[in-house]
């Protein structure tokens, strides 16, 4: 096996692994998001509780109807994140098949970075109505609206920016390669 063939084989193997991890991640992420609001006691025991909506208040003290309403709102950024992971799954499968610099692969990489930006913005914006809905169980006059921007959020946006720039660099490299191939 030549060094090029070994590198291609390693890329294909790593891409297949990442494809299936992205698919599993999409499924687990959605399941944990739903479970956190519908079955808070169970998932809190496993550390899956997202306290940023409530400070340190327990979700299990909030009526199911309010948790379900919050879930409906929370599913917007969750769906965007799952969509991004599904696009990532398809991108890695394309890489595993050798389609690295194709127009389709570059389009997927661009969609992934765009979805990352949109999801981060949606998660930030939806936190206010989610926290309000969850606070409706409080006595009158004690309703809360929270917004938070964490270092994880900023890091996620930075990675989205990096992915967007890489997608554009790869698209430009592909354009130049096609142009050079047509010239000769």
* Interval 84-135: pLDDT, tens: 999 999 999 999 999 888 889 999 999 999 999 999 999 989 999 998 998 8
CA dist., res. 98 & res. 9, Å (int): 10
Residue 77 pLDDT > 70? yes
Residue 22 pLDDT > 70? yes
Question: pTM for the full model?
Answer: 0.85
Q: Determine phi and psi for 51, rounding to 5 degrees.
A: -80, -10
CA dist list (Å): 165 to 7, 17, 101, 115, 125: 24, 24, 15, 14, 25
Residue 161 pLDDT > 50? yes
Residue 179 pLDDT > 60? yes
pLDDT per position as a tens digit, 35-51? 888 888 776 555 554 54
Token digits of residue 48: 């899956």
Residue 57: the pLDDT is 59
What residue spans define the domains of the chain?
3-183
Q: Which of 20-29, 43-52, 175-184 has the lowest mean pLDDT?
A: 43-52
Residue 182 pLDDT > 90? no
Average pLDDT, the chain: 86
CA-based torsion, 135, 140, 142, 147: positive or negative: positive
Token digits of residue 166: 């890489």
Higher pLDDT, 151 or 59: 151
Residue 80: the pLDDT is 97
Q: Which of 51-55, 130-134, 163-167 has the lowest mean pLDDT?
A: 51-55
136, 138, 118: which is closest to 126 by C-alpha? 118
CA dist., res. 167 & res. 155, Å (int): 18
CA dist., res. 22 & res. 8, Å (int): 21
Residue 56 pLDDT > 50? no
Residue 180: the pLDDT is 86
């Amino acid at each position: 096996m030549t060094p090029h063939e070994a590198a291609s084989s390693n890329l294909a193997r790593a891409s297949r692994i990442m494809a299936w991890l992205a698919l599993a991640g999409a499924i687990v992420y959605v399941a944990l998001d739903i479970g956190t609001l519908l079955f808070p006691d169970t998932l809190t025991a496993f550390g899956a509780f997202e306290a940023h909506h409530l400070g340190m208040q327990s979700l299990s003290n909030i009526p199911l109807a309010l948790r379900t309403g919050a879930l409906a709102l929370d599913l917007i950024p969750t769906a965007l994140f799952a969509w991004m992971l599904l696009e990532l799954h398809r991108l890695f499968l394309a890489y595993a098949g050798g389609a690295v610099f194709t127009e389709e692969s570059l389009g997927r990489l661009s969609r992934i970075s765009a979805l990352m930006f949109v999801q981060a913005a949606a998660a930030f914006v939806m936190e206010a109505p989610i926290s309000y809905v969850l606070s409706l169980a409080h006595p009158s006059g004690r309703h809360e609206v929270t917004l938070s921007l964490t270092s994880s959020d900023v890091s996620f946006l930075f990675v989205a920016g990096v992915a967007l720039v890489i997608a554009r660099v790869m698209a430009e490299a592909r354009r130049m390669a096609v142009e050079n191939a047509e010239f000769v």
